[in-house]
Amino acid sequence: MSERKYFGTDGIRGTVGQFPITPEFVLKLGWAAGKVLGKKGKIVIGKDTRISGYMFESVLEAGLTAAGVSSFLVGPMPTPAIAYLTRTFRADAGIVISASHNPFQDNGIKFFSAAGTKLPDSVELEIEALLEQEMTSLPSDQLGKAYRIEDAAARYIEFCKASVPNDFNLDGMKIVLDCANGATYHIAPYVFKELGAKVIKTGVEPDGLNINHECGATHLEPLCKAVVEHQADIGIAFDGDGDRLMMVDANGTVINGDQLMFLMAYHLQQKGQLKGGVVGTLMTNMAIENALTKMDIPFERSKVGDRYVMESLQKNGWLIGGESSGHLIHLDYNSTGDGIVAALQVLRVIKEQEKGIGELVAQFPLFPQTMINVRVTDAKAVMANEDLQRLVQQVDAELADKGRVLLRASGTEPLIRVMVEADDANVATKMAEKLAQKVRNIA
């Protein structure tokens, strides 16, 4: 095997009840993962709040048990919390049952190594190779066990608070917090409240079906409205599994991941504390790259996906990276994208700069960007279409040094993402529509 069959950009994901997101497959996946990863016989399992998590938690536990690996069950917890708990429990690996920003009908399984990082392709291929074999069970005296960790939430709350100095506080700050009815619902409000903020919380009543539904980091309109209505200083939104962060300024204007990543790097450079450069992705706004270059901060683009950002950071020995969608990595604090920790680092910038976030980002305006998602049946076939590729080249030539175009197949959904940046918003929209229509015609 040289190409992954089941694993995508961020684990294995799909619609519940449709292969491979079925109980039978996930049972065997747990067994295969236990065989490959469970050297010491201990794996942490967490999940978000979608209703199917109960089912997949049970079958993963059974598969691991059959492989002789014990499960440490922590219940609903943010994805970055599993990375942290995997390290602190000295476990072999961590497993997260989540489809991140997707609706409740979807679910997925993603893994962390013992170091709290996403698995390399080579290890995912090992797991996939075992999935082609017959599942077996060890003798009864060699089976794994299952343990429920009752204080997991409290452990992670303290971990988040420890990412800022002891004298840091949010006294006098009013924050509207949207937890997307997801895995941060019982974590984030306590973190910000205990640091002194007045917290107005929303998206904290998960029922198994409302995760990401018209709320959270992918649906910011309610948060924008709430910030203005409550005359709050800032709005903070996470996605369903808590590894993405988006913010809203006091005027209800969205601040995306590119801008937040830049603020962290810019602030550290001003303090003389930035180590190396910054890693973005193919989607990172060109204005961010230009601003970093002017500041003599090295910048590198990785493929889309926080795992690839992480690989580039490790290769270069840098600390800060992220995506416009809100995955933000700061390796001084966690080994993966962490929405709560990243929010605290941005709030620290605001406090130390003594400026509102809107005022800070206004100094570095983004290029207008138009993104259109086109649902397709066969993304690979569409991307390989020669007429489409010729049109991409034509648009790229027209934009020249005043913009850029990017077409890519989503790693988590059956979509072609069409993105055009230009120094003129009308041009960006016109070119993106032209490309999107071409994709629709082919699909």
* Strand spans (E) along 275-343: 278-281, 299-302, 320-322, 328-330
DSSP 3-state assignment of 92? coil
Tokens of 156: 């992670």
Helix axes 121-131, 23-37, angle to 10 degrees: 120
DSSP 3-state assignment of 378? coil
* Strand spans (E) along 119-233: 146-148, 174-178, 198-202
Angstrom CA distances, 333 to 10, 81, 161, 197, 236, stand at 21, 12, 11, 21, 19
Q: How far is residue 231 CA from its own chain's centroid?
A: 29
Tokens of 5: 């069959």
Residue type, 143: L
Which stretch of DSSP H or E encloses residue 73?
strand 70-76
Out of 52, 98, 100, 335, pick the active-site residue. 100
100 belongs to the catalytic site: yes
The residues that are catalytic are 100
